[in-house]
Structure 1
Amino acid sequence: MASAEPAIEVAGLGVRFRRNRRGRRSIKDLFADSSRRSKPGEFWALRDVSFDVMPGESIGVVGRNGQGKSTLLKLVAGVLLADEGRVSVNGGVAPLIEITGGFVGDLTVRENVRLIAGLHGMAKAEVARRFDGIIDFAEIAEAIETPYKHLSSGMKVRLAFSVVSQLDEPILLVDEVLAVGDKAFREKCYNRIEELQAEGRTLFFVSHNERDLRRFCTRGLYLDKHRLAMDAPIDEVLDRYDADYPVA
């Protein structure tokens, strides 16, 4: 029997950004504090990164700030394009990245659920079928006709997580969204992610929280100096990371 096709294939991946977006210095730059001026040229946010993720795997991505973790997630999500190498994603993704992005402040909660679910490819009939469940999970039944801009920050996060976690896509991308919200709702989100894992979903999870990484992930990718420093079981990766950068 042939082996399953990887859910995510990354080969020789690299992406670079400009330190200074302007090609030329302006008159204002001549009088600016040179110590605060961005250095010219480009830098590689990620370079020569390769790995495969099989369907149903739970991958945790670790590393210090600025090492390319969120950039990698956005490349997998198709939000960014690589400058070298390639990313192949075999199946749709449910992105819990910058989770409240895309919501429209002047639209009501009801209208935003339809909008965001529709943008993610959910048919109108499916949105209608799942609407009550989305609202119940978010615990905002009293605010259905309220403009989104009037919701508290916690209500916005609950609504966004509830909508995206209802998608049937086989790959779940998560970037630190569980760091927000109250303790009770955070545990509710944890349970929902575990339900999705039990269904066989693939999890690609970026976090600084070691407890969460050990809870959800079996394998880890350690990014250091903008490259893949280690690909191993999550406990080994976290031990290596802690040894490289011990807490003072």
Structure 2
Amino acid sequence: MDIAHSAQKPSPGEPPVVSVQDVSITYRTTFEKVPTLKSAIVRLGRGERAVHVVEALKGVSFDVTRGSSVGIIGANGAGKSTLMRAIAGVLPPSSGRVEVRGRISALLALGVGFNSALTGRENVILGGLASGLSRKEVVARAEEVAAFAEIGEFIDVPVRTYSSGMYQRLAFSVSVHMDPDILLIDEALSAGDASFKVKANAKMAELMKSARAMFLVSHSLNAVREMCDDALWIHKGKLMMHDTPDACIKAYTKFLEVGENAFTLEDL
């Protein structure tokens, strides 16, 4: 199903729904790749701790207009999920700013935000309330969410008993049934069998027809090509390219073939 061309396009002069301006995110951890007994003794004697600085994002800037479906590609550790968390407001930038216009529903990882001790229904209600819906609205929507996720009577069982597929299908269903203006999905479409993926694609198309924006992080380049009309390629925290899916995929795959040292964008 071609989702990329199903959304309404913005009016001239309309501000972007998401604007990321010179965003950098830096982590400071005490992780050490190859600790040695000598280095540990030296630090202990000095009262020091080894600090490792990770620059997850480095000066990333881009705008996304209403109706866009944006694919985000790059290797593991490139900063894709960090960027999604920044857009969702979960992770504040170390510098720069993120501006979002609209209600966000984020499926950032397997069941993020779920309480494993609560039932699926209770998690649906909590997820809806967190999205700004009334309790009456989310209670009425619980059966629809359960039916879409194909978990049947397990909706009233603690989610800690779910299989990974059930867990992820419910998380996806909650995200797409809460009337989001902006939907963030991090590898969510790997959930379920072929029939569920078809249903998930149809739901995404329905959302895009309502002029909402979508971000999709995926290692499946075909999924990005089929579902998106815009793309970002990120490498080691830097935005390498913001272009059409075909252009970004072409550049990224060439990069993978020739290696980082031999690659320049001018070679395309």
Q: Same fold by TM-score, threshold 0.5 exceeded?
A: yes
* Deviation per residue, 1:91-129 (Å, 9 max, x gap): 111101114122222222222221222222221111122
Whole-angstrom distance in 2 between the partners of 1:158 and 1:133: 13
Whole-angstrom distance in 1 between the partners of 2:98 and 2:83: 10
Residue 168 of structure 2 is aligned to residue 162 of structure 1:
no
User: Mapping of 1:151-190 within 5 angstroms?
Assistant: 151-190=162-201
Tell me: CA distance 1:120–1:240, structure 2 relative to 1, closer, same or farther (3 Å): same
User: Mapping of 1:43-192 within 5 angstroms?
Assistant: 43-192=54-203
* Deviation per residue, 1:130-159 (Å, 9 max, x gap): 222111111122223222222222111111
How many residues were matched structurally? 240
TM-score after normalising by structure 2? 0.82
Whole-angstrom distance in 2 between the partners of 1:49 and 1:94: 22
User: 1:49 corresponds to which letter in structure 2?
Assistant: V
Structure 1: segments with no counterpart, 5+ residues? 32-37
* Deviation per residue, 1:23-67 (Å, 9 max, x gap): xx9x99627xxxxxx973423111111110011111111111111
Helix, strand or coil at the partner of 2:257: coil
Helix, strand or coil at the partner of 1:144: helix
Aligned equivalent of 2:17, options 7, 11, 32 = 7
User: 1:133 corresponds to which letter in structure 2?
Assistant: E
Whole-angstrom distance in 1 between the partners of 2:133 and 2:258: 44
| Between 100-109 and 52-61, the greater mean CA deviation after superposition | 100-109
1:204 is displaced (CA, Å) by: 1.1
Superposition CA RMSD, Å: 2.5
Asked whether the 8 Å contact 2:121–2:155 carries over to 1, the reply is: yes
Whole-angstrom distance in 2 between the partners of 1:39 and 1:45: 19
TM-score after normalising by structure 1? 0.88
Residue 201 of structure 2 is aligned to residue 198 of structure 1:
no
Give me the identity figure in percent: 37
